[in-house]
């Protein structure tokens, strides 16, 4: 039982834990790009008005 749980923890760590981290990183990057895009759009729109 001990060896079996250890191997499953090691195996699932790469699949589950790393997968969630990758998804979180992608989400953070998308949110950051969206915020930067929105700010750039607002700034450019204000410049065009002036």
* pLDDT tens, position by position, 2-43: 555 555 555 555 566 777 888 999 999 999 999 999 999 999
The rounded distance, in Å, linking the Cα atoms of 17 and 11 is 10
pTM of the model: 0.51
What's the confidence (pLDDT) of residue 41? 93
What's the confidence (pLDDT) of residue 22? 87
**Tokens 């998804």 belong to which residue?**
23
**Tokens 């989400």 belong to which residue?**
27
What's the confidence (pLDDT) of residue 7? 53
Domain-by-domain residue ranges, the chain?
A: 22-50
What's the confidence (pLDDT) of residue 31? 98
């Amino acid at each position: 039982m001990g060896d079996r749980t250890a191997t499953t923890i090691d195996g699932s760590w790469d699949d589950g834990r790393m997968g969630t981290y990758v998804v979180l990183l992608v989400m953070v990057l998308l949110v950051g790009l969206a915020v930067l895009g929105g700010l750039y759009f607002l700034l450019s729109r204000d410049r065009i008005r002036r």
